[in-house]
Amino acid sequence: MVDAVTFDFWNTLMWEEPGSLREKRLEIWGGTLAEAGARVDVVQLERAHDVAHEAYVRSWTAGCQFRVEEAVGEILEYLNGGLAVNIAPALLEGFREAGRRAAVHPSDGVRACLETLRGAGVRLGIICDIGLTPSPIVLELLDRHGLLGFFDDMSFSDEVGHYKPARPIFQHALAGLGAVPPERAAHVGDRRRTDVGGAIAMGMISVRYNGVYEDEAIRAPEADIVLADLADLPLLLGVAEMSQ
């Protein structure tokens, strides 16, 4: 039996309907920038968003922290100035508000999984790589769906300063859960390079959830456990049997 389980957020605890965040950002910016008197071509704004997202992915892959403020900088640089008003605050707020409005849903079986683990006395945490949706918005999404209260502690990359699979963000999570020894903990996520690789390097039980996204990265390690329904996790960890 494990003493603690940590979860990835995106495509693990919750998932986004493909393209929803991008769509909402552009929709919000289209309104707020027009109200502010900033004339920005729609196609240029779309490309600027994608350039910023590409910059984030490069940084994430390299393990270099990338914050939303940097995404705003990328957008402004792509638009090449020449605007009559300062649109940086509107862009920043658009990233936040889009996270609230986007179609983001709890994964199948997540509530049953969390209820069983908590009922068995297992401590629960989150280890989340933050991209263009800031961690306070992630907290809002969890709270909206009644999931926030299940967690004892959370480790977000925009607060800790490291992306998975870096050891410090896993160490931060285990420390926040009461200094749980790695061998007494499991980590659940959808990515082999970051979630599985980071968990294995820490000596944790690695669990890959493929109920939303199937990671076929053949050069990354495979998990100890692979499952498509989070409701099955407690039994696979030996927790459901212990709690009965």
Which pLDDT score is estimated for 84? 57
Could you state, in order of their start, the residue ranges of all structural domains in the chain? Answer: 4-16+104-243, 20-101
Which pLDDT score is estimated for 219? 87
Q: What is the pLDDT of residues 7-34, one digit of tens each?
A: 999 999 999 999 999 999 999 999 998 8
Which pLDDT score is estimated for 82? 61
Closest C-alpha among 15, 71, 32 to residue 48: 71
Which pLDDT score is estimated for 81? 66
Answer yes or no: is pLDDT of 90 > 90.
Answer: yes
In this structure, how many other beta carbons lie within 10 angstroms of the beta carbon of residue 181? 11
Residue 83 pLDDT class (50, 70, 90 cuts): low
Alpha helices in 6-156 (DSSP H): 20-35, 42-62, 68-79, 88-101, 110-119, 135-144
Strand partners, 33: none
Q: What is the pLDDT of residues 91-149, one digit of tens each?
A: 999 999 999 999 999 999 999 999 999 999 999 999 999 999 999 999 999 999 999 99
Average pLDDT over residues 60-88: 88
Residue 218 pLDDT class (50, 70, 90 cuts): confident
d(CA 224, CA 135): 28
Peptide bond before 165: cis, by omega within 30 degrees of 0? yes
Sign of torsion over alpha carbons 83, 89, 95, 100 = negative
Indicate the pTM of the whole model. 0.94
Answer yes or no: is pLDDT of 243 > 80.
Answer: no
Which pairs with CB-CB distance under 8 Å and at least 24 residues apart come from 79-85? Answer: 79/40, 79/44, 79/45, 79/48, 83/38, 83/39, 83/40, 84/37, 84/38, 84/39, 85/36, 85/37, 85/38
Residue carrying the six token digits 């692979």:
226
Which pLDDT score is estimated for 242? 55
Amino acid at 224: D
Residue 181 pLDDT class (50, 70, 90 cuts): very high
161 DSSP assignment: S
Residue 39 pLDDT class (50, 70, 90 cuts): confident
Instruction: Output Rg (C-alpha) for the chain, integer angstroms.
Output: 19
Average pLDDT over residues 223-242: 91
| 4-16+104-243 classified as CATH 3.40.50.1000 | yes
d(CA 100, CA 230): 24
Average pLDDT over residues 65-81: 91
